[in-house]
Amino acid sequence: MSKKKENNIGLVETHYFNFSEPSNEFILESGVKLDPATIAYETYGKLNSKKTNAILIAHAFSGDAHAAGYHKGEKKPGWWDNMIGPGKAFDTEKYFIICSNVLGGCKGSSGPATINPKTKKAYGVDFPFVTIADMVNAQKLLIDHLGIKKLLSIAGGSMGGMQALQWMVSYPEAIRSAIPIATTAKHSPMQIAFNEVGRQAIMADPHWKEGNYYDDKRPLKGLSVARMVGHITYMSENSMDNKFGRKLKSNRGIEKFTADFEVEGYLQYRGDSFTRRFDPNSYLYITKAMDLFDAGQGKSLHESLKELKANVLVLAFKSDWLYPTAQSKEIVKACKMAGVNATFCEIDSNYGHDAFLLEIEKEAHLIKHFLQKILNEID
Amino acid sequence: MSKKKENNIGLVETHYFNFSEPSNEFILESGVKLDPATIAYETYGKLNSKKTNAILIAHAFSGDAHAAGYHKGEKKPGWWDNMIGPGKAFDTEKYFIICSNVLGGCKGSSGPATINPKTKKAYGVDFPFVTIADMVNAQKLLIDHLGIKKLLSIAGGSMGGMQALQWMVSYPEAIRSAIPIATTAKHSPMQIAFNEVGRQAIMADPHWKEGNYYDDKRPLKGLSVARMVGHITYMSENSMDNKFGRKLKSNRGIEKFTADFEVEGYLQYRGDSFTRRFDPNSYLYITKAMDLFDAGQGKSLHESLKELKANVLVLAFKSDWLYPTAQSKEIVKACKMAGVNATFCEIDSNYGHDAFLLEIEKEAHLIKHFLQKILNEID
């Protein structure tokens, strides 16, 4: 078998789970009923007969259900393809992997761009507020729908890690393990501040029009600026130095205030390309859900974890200044205080917050062994 | 004498130095001639008969010539009033203090908001590019005009520190000492990236109109977003935690995506208030000057410092992640390699980059003794 074939799960398709079927009514934490409500999801590998090998992958802020493999006609694989597949960290020859787009998102799940059945137009900011707990409650219904009583694991980086923490708090009986990566139990004021700048950039764009832009020009310039801020926070001083230094652009503009440095051109490119794949209102909803998230629900986190019997693997990356290691250690400390079996590892990396998507070898090694141990305990 | 009176230099006025007088023609680094050209400046204390007690204070990005004392009818003193005055770090009973607004600025010196004599309208982005060296060349002409052959010192924080470094390189014979504070010999890609986001936010505002907004609405929303990004980088994780934590605003909006957290309200307030005192085009010009600044002029910094006989005091602040201590150490290293007498001190502070404006006691102590030593060497 060639290496390529061995690692490749090949073509995949997105599925849609509609909550509006009888008995699947979906009520948000706020009490608001979402009807109809849909979440997009993908699965990789095979669910075993006892349904004990399912792992839920939760995506980060700008991710989607397409975590691995290829969509027909596309050249780029899913966002965590280097971690999910035969022989990889999330080994599809052993595990049944599920990934769904978060509620409030714009990649197939219900969100502000969804048509409001009452008005026949996109909701815009009339879409109800969603929380990280709402996202997780929706995932739980999907898991129920797939006939899975207990997940082997719930894993995710950044906002995906927040969802893993929410599972630990909301559904402790439904998970055998959890892997929160490069995340926090609650945002610091600095994390809130960076998100707020992004939101203000979008809302400052006159095309935003209080969120009612779906029939018109979209607030793409604001979204692009928001994404640029994000990208800076995802990198490290070191990774920027290595990637760009003070190199000047080869096709430096003769116009004033165009990009002189490569780092400027890169940020503009990343900002622009993001506008082709993301809904500005989803940016507002999802960042707000992150900022308001508090895994401890106002109490100490360890009190919220008292029911948890699952094993927990907490991963952080040394150069990640957006979600610094100290925040991961807080999670580990709360686990220990709650009597939860938690392992912590800080991975040496220069990639900053992006490391959870890039530092594959070290990350895969730790996760592979952790999952195997959980699997062994069942057999 | 009451303490208040002792510390207060009282009412001050801004003066204007016009370069267009014969023999004061001003040519920029780019070769472009600026005519007329003006810089606004203030002075505090008295120049002694030998003209040996003059200290030039260089302001940071958003500063101005009004460094100390009060303008008539105003309740807020100059931006470094706690450092400049009788008995303070820059003791006006000993020293003659000069502070001028940078070229390209918007507080009385020639900049993009100045009327272009050819068109009788504001220059906008037709104003020529200015560099940190241009700013310093203009200051040198002002110093000449005041009859001062050699400054006792040139001091400044952040972009003010860049100007101090430029004086060390451009006019080594005209300074007895220099105090670069919380600064760098050249911007890292991350520093450039944060500035670029600010510029993009301004230029994304439709009111920017390629810089021609002076007869119309100004791009204030873009400028406000730019300033919000800046403010985050001026604070530290710790100072934000202490100031805001996750405290919710008392008058929390019922509207969606208004400020929930105090930190959001604070940033919006600081962004808004900045728009009442700063010209968006000056934001573009001055940040670009900072990004393109390289005290070593493409060579190693120590080679550019070989002519320097002045004593140098380099100050950095522990929690400053925008201009981290490592960048100050690079300056000290270059001084040492060039045989320059340099002293380095990292001040313990939680205030982040803002510390150079806030950590007065420690900063004043170091500067006071350093300056006294320089003064003693003359007498």
Output the pLDDT for position A248: 86
Nearest beta carbon to residue A225 from set B204, B245, B256: B204
Write the pLDDT tens digit of every residue in B31-90.
999 988 999 999 999 999 999 999 999 999 999 999 999 999 999 999 999 999 999 999
Is the Cβ pair B201, A225 closer than 8 Å?
A: yes
Output the pLDDT for position A22: 66
B320 touching A, CB under 8 A? no
Nearest beta carbon to residue B200 from set A194, A225, A245: A225
Q: State which residue of chain B sits closest to A186, comparing Cα positions.
A: B246
Which residues is B215 bridged to in the sheet? Answer: none
Q: For chain B, which domains are there?
A: 15-187+295-378 (3.40.50.1820), 191-288 (1.10.1740.110)
Cβ burial B141-171 (10 Å sphere, 16+ → b, else e): bbbeeeebeebbbbbbbbbbbbbbbbbbbbb
Count of residues making up chain A = 379
A212 touching B, CB under 8 A? no
**A69 confidence band (pLDDT: 50, 70, 90):** very high
Per DSSP, helices labelled H in chain A are 3-7, 132-145, 159-170, 189-204, 220-234, 237-243, 262-275, 280-292, 301-304, 325-337, 355-358, 360-378
Using DSSP, state whether A9 is helix, strand or coil.
coil
How close, in Å, is residue A254 to chain B by CA atoms?
12
**B250 confidence band (pLDDT: 50, 70, 90):** confident
Residue A261: DSSP 8-state: B
Active site residue ranges of A: 158, 320, 353
Write the pLDDT tens digit of every residue in B93-120.
999 999 999 999 999 999 999 999 999 9
Q: Using an 8 Å CB-CB cutoff, list chain A residues near B189.
A: 240-241, 243-246, 261-263
**B8 confidence band (pLDDT: 50, 70, 90):** confident
Output the pLDDT for position B1: 36
B204 touching A, CB under 8 A? yes
Is the Cβ pair B294, A201 closer than 8 Å?
A: no
Write the pLDDT tens digit of every residue in B174-207.
999 999 999 999 999 999 999 999 999 999 999 9
Per-residue three-class SS string for chain B: CCHHHHHCCCECCCEEEECCCCCCCEECCCCCEECCCEEEEEEECCCCCCCCCEEEEECCCCCCCCCCCECCCCCCCCCCCCCEECCCCEECCCCEEEEECCCCCCCCCCCCCCEECCCCEECHHHCCCCCHHHHHHHHHHHHHHCCCCCECEEEEECHHHHHHHHHHHHCHHHECEEEEECCCCECCHHHHHHHHHHHHHHHHCHHHHHHCCCCCCCCHHHHHHHHHHHHHHHCCHHHHHHHCCCCECCCCCCCCCCCCEHHHHHHHHHHHHHHCCCCHHHHHHHHHHHHHCECCCCCCHHHHCCCCCCEEEEEEECCCCCCCHHHHHHHHHHHHHCCCCEEEEEECCCCHHHHHHHCHHHHHHHHHHHHHHHHHHHC
Write the pLDDT tens digit of every residue in A246-287.
998 877 666 788 888 999 999 999 999 999 999 999 999 999
As a whole number, mean pLDDT of residues A61-70 equals 97
ipTM: 0.92
**A349 confidence band (pLDDT: 50, 70, 90):** very high
Is the Cβ pair A261, B190 closer than 8 Å?
A: no
8 A C-beta contact, residue B246 and residue A187: yes
* Cβ count within 10 A of residue B272: 15
My answer on whether omega of the bond before A36 falls inside 30° of 0, hence cis, is: yes
Q: State which residue of chain A sits closest to B124, comparing Cα positions.
A: A256
Nearest beta carbon to residue A193 from set B205, B206, B240: B240
Output the pLDDT for position A347: 98
Is the Cβ pair A197, B267 closer than 8 Å?
A: yes
Output the pLDDT for position B24: 65
**A21 confidence band (pLDDT: 50, 70, 90):** low
Q: Using an 8 Å CB-CB cutoff, list chain A residues near B259.
A: 196
Enter the pTM of the model.
Answer: 0.94
Output the pLDDT for position A171: 98
Is the Cβ pair B129, A225 closer than 8 Å?
A: no
Say yes or no to pLDDT of A201 above 90. Answer: yes
Output the pLDDT for position A258: 85
Q: State which residue of chain B sits closest to A231, comparing Cα positions.
A: B193
CA distance A145 to A219: 37
Tokens for A161, please give them: 């890690």
A125 touching B, CB under 8 A? yes
Is the Cβ pair B200, A271 closer than 8 Å?
A: yes
Output the pLDDT for position B227: 97
Q: State which residue of chain A sits closest to B266, comparing Cα positions.
A: A193
Q: Using an 8 Å CB-CB cutoff, list chain B residues near A125.
A: 256-257
Output the pLDDT for position B11: 96
In terms of DSSP bridges, do strands A54-58 and A96-100 run parallel, antiparallel, or are they unpaired? parallel
Q: Using an 8 Å CB-CB cutoff, list chain B residues near A188.
A: 237, 240-241, 246
Q: Which of residues 321-350 of A touch B (CB under 8 A)?
A: 321, 324
**A351 confidence band (pLDDT: 50, 70, 90):** very high
Say yes or no to pLDDT of A4 above 60. Answer: no
Nearest beta carbon to residue A192 from set B194, B256, B264: B264
B244 touching A, CB under 8 A? yes
Is the Cβ pair B232, A204 closer than 8 Å?
A: no
A186 touching B, CB under 8 A? yes
